[in-house]
Chains A and B, each alone.
Chain A
Amino acid sequence: MRVVIAEDDTLLREGLAALLSAEGIEVVAAHAHADRLYETIEEFDAGLAIVDVRMPPTYTDEGLRAAMRVRTARPGFPMLVLSAHVETKYAGDLLADGAGAVGYLLKERVGAVEDFLRTMDRVVGGETVLDSEVVTTLMRRGGNRSPLSALTARERDVLQLMAQGHRNGDIAAELQVSEAAIHKHIRSIFNKLGLLADDAGHRRVLAVLTYLREQ
């Protein structure tokens, strides 16, 4: 896997590059800015970009905007966005194209190295992975008018785990129920959220998107 890193903090940038290199992952470019993210990805034929949201010059959302530009030019290009704090709007922006292959994590998740590596694999594999913090925040904001309020507590748990990018088997193991039961819950979630069966591949992403729209 060829990876491009955009992170302005030197220590984090170099630490992350060293961490990935030790795992046999090729870090082809590590920049302190997000200025030429798309060009860099093209130049090195990278397969994943890891981008910090806050970057120079204004330290607001330069990294996110660079990531969005890449996604506009190359829909579905695997993008793992790291943020110092949870901003559901950012998650919504990233997921809006519905193309998947997006991760949005709190920065400190790099500390749980194995989970982090797994998340990278999932994103490269086309899945959508949201930080559990994002999902919890969204759940809290749901409110009564949201279609999410129609979900049962168990269905919410399942949706939360789905949003975090877990597969059905993982969700079943986590909630200690059978995979068939999880299937039933997911079907019910799709029905309640009005997601039609013909869009099978993206329904999981769409379910998560419903979260994000219901703020």
Chain B
Amino acid sequence: MSFIEGVDTRQRSRDATSVRRSALSVRYLAGGTFSGLYGLLVLAVLVAVAALSAVGVGLLLTGTASKVLRHWCDRERIRVGRALGRHVGSPYPGPAAGPDGARRRIADGTPVLRDLAAVLQRIVVGIPLGVVTILLPLVSLQALALPTYWWAMPDGKPAEQLFEITSWWLALASGLIGLAGLAAWSIGAPAVRSADAKLLELLLAPTRDQELRLRVRMEEQRRRSAVDLHSAELRRIERDLHDAAQNRLVAVSMFIGTAQRQLSTGTGDVATALAKAQDASRDALAEMRRIIRGVYPPMLAEEGLVPALGLLADRMQIPTRLRVDAPAPTPASVDAALYFSVAEALTNVAKHSNATACDIHLTWTEDDGEMRVITTVTDDGHGGAERSKGSGLAGIESRIGALGGTVAVASPPRGPTSVRMELPCES
């Protein structure tokens, strides 16, 4: 629905769009000057560090140099992406972990060389292009304006722009040249922008080979975090069984033993001991139920994801709405991850947000022939949720990430807070 509306709007306002495109192109090309100047600075830093490395001390600064280069490239990727209207990825797998990360990337080699090529391209091509983009309209406007005032200039000091204006014919020619300049500027800018941005994209985006390698590495990371999550779960279950259920059963045995001893010695209150054994066995059963719920909620197994989430919503103190669009079947692993993640998000809402209402929205979409389920938990609380320790957001990220999904948290100060979880339905 909204997609069709978008197409309509685009067709109706083609003229407005072309003006906007020209304006964006000018902004992009003019901004290229700054990129080029910043690039010069980056180059200066790199050369300085390289020179110092020959003496030894510079080696300590390679991390900083890499960071500066990386910052420049990331900034340029965003600019180029905006110009091309598509995402320009980075050949680097996520933020570098550990103090050695930056150096390792330098050691990786090839991407850095391509980064450097992009910096040089910006300096050599970007600066002149930007200067022309800024000066061309100014010069053109002046040339266009000449016919209106050349005759007023004092004798012996004729108006001069591209050439000396000494007659109406020359003034007219200047005006035409100005007009042509402006036309070339407004029409040519988008084409030049597109060509320039595409060239940069070639240098900044990962190559096919790198992309494959990145994907493999991301898959490895995903699997590792899945294994970590799994062992963390097992440890939690083990501890629950040990410290709760097992101790309760030991207590049952102990109280029964006490009762037996009292019967054989004829002392003490057997009924009390048995009542305690009874209590302990009831507690043990309650513990077992709690542990089972934590492993795989029976509601999820019996009724499915949506009713189980409905139950979570019903348990909330504040009004919580569950909306579901176009549901499609999901594997049990996805159901469980979503159930626990939504439960965690709702716990955050209840504990930290001070919200008066909460909304859970599930929608299934098909993307590239792959079904994805998108779950968003939104509250009208005071916002400012952070992925700090113990906020539960980290737990949600590892659960969703383990199944190849992504989590986006938006929580500006004064709210609202929304946690968006996107998961592929095929595991």
Measured CB to CB, the residues of A under 8 A from B are 9, 11-12, 15-16, 18-19, 22-23, 54, 59, 84-85, 107-108, 110-114, 116
Contact B254 A84 (CB under 8 A): no
A114/B261 contact (C-beta < 8 A), A19-B254, A59-B239, A108-B253 known? yes
Specify which chain B residues have a CB less than 8 angstroms from the CB of A16 in the assembled complex. 254
Interface string of B236-276 (1 = CB under 8 A from A): 00010011001111111111111011100001100000001
Number of A-B contacts (CB under 8 A): 60
- B123 interface residue, CB < 8 Å from A? no
Q: How many angstroms between the C-alpha atoms of A18 and B252 in the bound complex?
A: 14
- B165 interface residue, CB < 8 Å from A? no
Q: How far is the CB of A59 from chain B (nearest CB, A)?
A: 7
Contact B249 A108 (CB under 8 A): yes
Specify which chain B residues have a CB less than 8 angstroms from the CB of A110 in the assembled complex. 250, 253-254, 257
Q: How many angstroms between the C-alpha atoms of A12 and B280 in the bound complex?
A: 10
Measured CB to CB, the residues of B under 8 A from A are 239, 242-243, 246-258, 260-262, 267-268, 276, 280
Residue A111 contacts which of B247, B256, B262, B267 (CB distance < 8 angstroms)?
A: B256
A15/B258 contact (C-beta < 8 A), A59-B239, A59-B243 known? yes
Q: How far is the CB of A13 from chain B (nearest CB, A)?
A: 10
Q: Which 3 residue pairs are nearest across A and B when measured between Cβ atoms?
A: A111-B253, A111-B257, A113-B257
A113/B260 contact (C-beta < 8 A), A22-B267, A59-B243 known? yes
**Can you identify 19 A-B contacts, CB atoms within 8 angstroms?**
A11-B248, A11-B251, A12-B254, A15-B255, A15-B258, A15-B276, A19-B258, A22-B262, A22-B268, A23-B261, A59-B239, A84-B242, A107-B246, A107-B247, A111-B253, A111-B254, A113-B258, A113-B261, A116-B257
Residue A107 contacts which of B250, B255, B256, B260 (CB distance < 8 angstroms)?
A: B250
Contact A15 B251 (CB under 8 A): yes
Residue A12 contacts which of B242, B250, B260, B261 (CB distance < 8 angstroms)?
A: B250
Contact B239 A11 (CB under 8 A): no
Q: How many angstroms between the C-alpha atoms of A108 and B253 in the bound complex?
A: 7
Q: How many angstroms between the C-alpha atoms of A113 and B253 in the bound complex?
A: 10
Specify which chain A residues have a CB less than 8 angstroms from the CB of B250 in the assembled complex. 12, 84, 107-108, 110-111
A114 nearest in chain B by CB position = B261
Contact B247 A11 (CB under 8 A): yes
